[in-house]
Structure 1
């Protein structure tokens, strides 16, 4: 009887282990279906665009094939890759600066009530000042250069990061922090293993919403005061009423945004929130 009792838990655990090892395989079909659904949505968009272009029969709405041919031509001439690389570098630098500064301020405001009260008025002011005003002021103060452009973009993004991260800092479970203190974890381990995992959903929300905002502001910054980048080139096309060029550069820029969302932000969000089950 004792021998049987000893082997029963092991035997009962084996089916459970097989089920757990087979779980990831069952998760792949839904992922494929989601990808196919998104791809089908893009195809429908192109089809609707093509039908609308045929119905209008005007230079104001060129068909998709004409725009795709322009994309190829601009890529071969290296004009499109050059302007795209310049814009993406500004996006990355301003996004990183805004996330670092906004996260630090948001955590501090969520942790210390006095600081929250002191900076709340500044935060409301930063949220309501139009981006165009900030861009113009930065160009006047710092000159028509990349530093002014990046500062202008970061200033417009920081308040939204602060608001989101501050709410996350306020939602931190104090009981988990007490457990970390009871186990005498160091401040760094408490921050990385207990505090930061609770804050990660808010950081991802701030990153996703902020990145969508920064894409747009960078184009405005380039349109107003830079001599390169996607925004600058769109302004050139506008002056010559080149609708095909505008749509070509817009489509490439939108494709980059979709790729970043699909290949970076979504997988990262699933990874950092996996601990929640």
Structure 2
């Protein structure tokens, strides 16, 4: 009987697998078709405009190939990714701690809610400028500026997660004497995981954009720095080449890491 039940329970997975694979192929086909259509439209408009400020896709890919061959693309992209990674980890950790504290303690939430609103509405440009003035034109100042802009967003997400924790599940854990570690692992974290994944996905999109601004303002390396130099020279081809390269890197991280993570942490809801 155990063998039969095991086979029965595994059957839906076997049946669902081809469907999931077909859905992935369909999504890939739509994505490819959409991007190819965009590239064709871009090519047509660029050929019609005949302007150095609107290069064709082939011209942009030529710049991309040249920058990759001379090593500048890899050097600046890796520098930006390093700053993104550090700022992302710091902001996620601090923002998660703040959000959980505010979500679980009403007094702290009432007192610090105004602070949270203030930092949520503080322009990134102001934060970047102040950090460079206070701490100098250093990587530490750049990462601090990026983290300060992201921490409030993470805190808001995690505060909502902490507020939505089930009191019934907490009571069950106390009745069955789970202990703090088992309660954290099997009760609290599964409920918080979707909020954490959502904060991570939105956080990555926000962090890398701010990092580019930070680099354009006061760093001598990175994609943002290259974009600022290209802007001064009105080199639209280089601007588009570096932008496309970094968007591609971020999208790879999104599709291979963050989206599968969100699907996994939401699986318990089904």
Give the TM-score normalised by the residue count of structure 2: 0.95
Shift in CA distance, 11/180, structure 1 to aligned 2, threshold 3 Å: closer
Q: For residue 23 of structure 1, report the CA deviation from its aligned partner.
A: 2.6
Task: Report 1:192-207 matches (<5 A).
Answer: 192-207=185-200
Residue 140 of structure 1 corresponds to 133
Q: Work out the CA distance in 2 between the residues paired with 1:86 and 1:11.
A: 55
Q: Aligned to 2:46, which of 34, 53, 67? A: 53
Counterpart of 1:251 in structure 2 is 244
Q: Name structure 2 gaps, 5 residues minimum.
A: none
Note the residue ranges of structure 1 that are not aligned, 5 or more in a row.
Answer: 1-6
1:4 corresponds in structure 2 to none
Which piece of structure 1 moves more, 245-254 or 22-31?
Answer: 22-31
Which whole-Å CA distance do the structure 2 matches of 1:158 and 1:73 have between them?
38
Within a 5 Å distance, the mapping from 1:49-88 to structure 2 comes to 49-88=42-81
Q: The residue matched to 1:61 in structure 2 has which SS?
A: coil
Superposed CA RMSD in Å reads 1.7
What TM-score do the two structures reach when normalised by structure 1?
Answer: 0.93
Pairing 1:178–2:171 present:
yes
Structure 2 CA distance for aligned equivalents of residues 78 and 23 of structure 1: 45
The match for 1:24 is 17
Aligned partner (choices 93, 97, 104) of residue 111 of structure 1: 104
Q: Does residue 268 of structure 1 match 2:267? A: no
Kept in 1, the 8 Å contact 2:198–2:262? The answer is: no
- Which residue is equivalent to 1:209? 202
Q: Tell me the secondary structure at the aligned position of residue 227 of structure 1.
A: coil
Number of corresponding residues: 270
Where 1:97 maps in the other structure, the secondary structure is: helix
